[in-house]
Each structure stands twice: as C-alpha cells, then as structure tokens.
Amino acid sequence: MVVRHNIRRACRLTTPVRRRFIRRESGAAAVEFALIAPILLMILLSMLDGSFALQKKFKLDHILRAASEAAKDDPGSAEILAVMEELALADDSLQDIEIATPQRYCLCAAAPAVAPNAGQDCNTTCPDGSTLGVAYALSAQLPYSGFATPGVQLFTLTSSLTIQVK
C-alpha cells in the first residue's frame, strides 16, 4: 500500500512538470537553428565553391582572349601557344591547365563557318576566286577540385575560341 501511494505521488508530480516543459518555448529557437544551420552552411559553402569555379573560368577565358589578340597578326601556332603558356604560368591557381596547340586553318569568307579539321588547303583559292581567310581554333581546359573537397576533381572547366584573322 505504501508503494502504490509513492508511485501515484511521483506520477502526479511529473505530469505538471511535463506540461510546463511542453508549454515553454524558450529553447525552440535554438532547436530550430540547430536543425537549419547545417543546411545554411551547405548553401554557403556551395555558393563559395561556385564563385571559385567561376573565377577560374574567367581566368581561362582571359588566357584565350589574350591569345586571340596575339593571333590577329597571324604569327603562327607556336607563338600563340607561347603567349597562352606564359599567362598560365604567371597565375599559380592555373597550374593544372591543359592548353591545346592552336590550330591554324584556312576558309573562304563567303562560306559558312567550318570546323578546324574541315578547313580548306591554304594553297588553294575560293570557288568565287577570292583568297582564303586564316582562322585559329584555341582551346584550354582546367580540372576543378572543389573548395570543400580539395583532392577530388569535381568537373573540368573548358573554354574554346575560334577567331578569323584574315
């Protein structure tokens, strides 16, 4: 009989305490923040990683634009490649860049755009009798490993540019 009385008394004491705890909202904000903070942190890190990838893509595009400036005088593939490699070596973040050898090819100005490997022989003339134009195909790629995963390659940034110089 005494044992039953103590159990009832203990149950009566915990029920109002439990009710009071359930009604309180003082820790609700901390719990909500603890649930949402990892999601917000992942969004922030993804935005940061995306901005680093975009910055490297801009640097890759800058190298190709500088090479197209060098190509407008038609100096030859070796000199254009030297310009691209010099710019890539000047930036430490582009140490894994893969620069393709610029392709020089000829085409008719009146003809629609053609791929570099489908260009005409540079010693011939166009069907309308005009001289052939000269174009260069430039390309480079850079493997990108993320900010959060530095050793793992996530994707490859690629950039290509075709410029007609004559």
Burial (Cβ within 10 Å: 0-12, 13-18, ≥19) of residue 136: buried
**Residue 75's Cα: distance from chain center in Å?**
31
pLDDT one-digit tens code per residue, 63-86:
999 999 999 888 888 999 999 999
In this prediction, residue 102 carries a pLDDT of 92
* Res. 23 pLDDT band, cuts 50 70 90: low
Q: What is the pLDDT of residue 74?
A: 86
Lowest mean pLDDT: which of 39-53, 70-84, 114-128, 149-163? 114-128
Please answer whether residues 134 and 108 qualify as being in contact, where contact means their C-beta atoms are separated by less than 8 angstroms: no
